[in-house]
Structure 1
């Protein structure tokens, strides 16, 4: 066969097995991270800020792609397609790692965060009267104050590390050579 895209799995092909394991790892660990975030929000009462919600978006994109890659590897999809899918998953995990790293930097006051959740309170309002009206009707969760710190890292910091690890898993699966 002349191209990687046309390769189909042979008996015991380690490349397909690695793609399956990589995809399954991303799905299980990523879904667990999302479940923990939703659990802390819905059960633990920790409302997410704007950046916390933004960190979830790449998971919502990457996890279905990872599930499709795992299913495709199991069903014998050509290796080129599996690699492409895992590369897309790695990009999604790198995106959430970037957002999480930015968020952690905002929490540590290394740089300013978005004005809608960490800037001066009067910025989006025309007057103090408008501000008072908004304050009575809405609760803004600040992006520059960590909701929870575990072992010296905020949840954003932990998400950055976890997302980088998942990106590495996906890349390793994408770069696996045929046996």
Structure 2
């Protein structure tokens, strides 16, 4: 496959994941904080892809790969939070309430966002949206790296 075809595929992959996320949001699945974190690198990957198609600079393909790897890593982290493997940010997870006073607990509940990062809102084949994002994003990394190999001197 030619370099520009690979870049287009990786760029369209990130664009499709962004559109899918917005589609789920439109259907009523409000994103949590970590869901939003995963969107930014996809946006960057799309911009790097457009730039790499216009100017054949090898570093742009590496930047696209790094953006896809970043959102994939955030997806793995988010999956771990959803599955209870580790604790997520206190601003969007239930966290530990041991030793909190009633007033502190009430204040934390009242300040908490409506969408929690440690709950799976939707899943397919046992994988959450964060898990699917991670898997597809790492596949996009491989496509970006293949494009880089075709453009490297």
TM-score in same-fold range (> 0.5) = yes
Kept in 2, the 8 Å contact 1:19–1:69? The answer is no
Matches of 2:106 and 2:124, distance apart in 1: 39
**TM-score, scaled to structure 1:** 0.75
Q: Residue in 1 aligned with 2:138?
A: 164
Q: Tell me how large the CA RMSD over aligned residues is.
A: 2.3
Q: Deviations over 1:79-110 (max 9, x none)?
A: xx1x2110110001000000000001111111
Determine the structure 1 residue equivalent to 2:104.
Answer: 127
Could you tell me how far apart the structure 1 residues matched to 2:140 and 2:28 are? 27
Q: Larger radius of gyration, structure 1 or 2?
A: 1
Assess if the C-alpha contact under 8 Å between 1:58 and 1:96 holds in 2: yes
Counterpart in 2 of 1:113?
88
Q: Contact 1:21–1:70 (CA<8 Å) still a contact in 2?
A: no
Q: Is the 8 A contact 1:86 1:174 kept in 2?
A: yes
Give the TM-score normalised by structure 2: 0.87
Q: Point out where structure 2 has 5 or more consecutive residues left out of the alignment.
A: none
Q: How many residues align?
A: 149
Please say if 1:55 is aligned against 2:38: yes
Flag the 1:130–1:90 CA change in 2: closer, same or farther, 3 A.
same
Partners of 1:160 and 1:128 in 2: CA distance: 33
Q: 2:22 matched to 1:26?
A: no
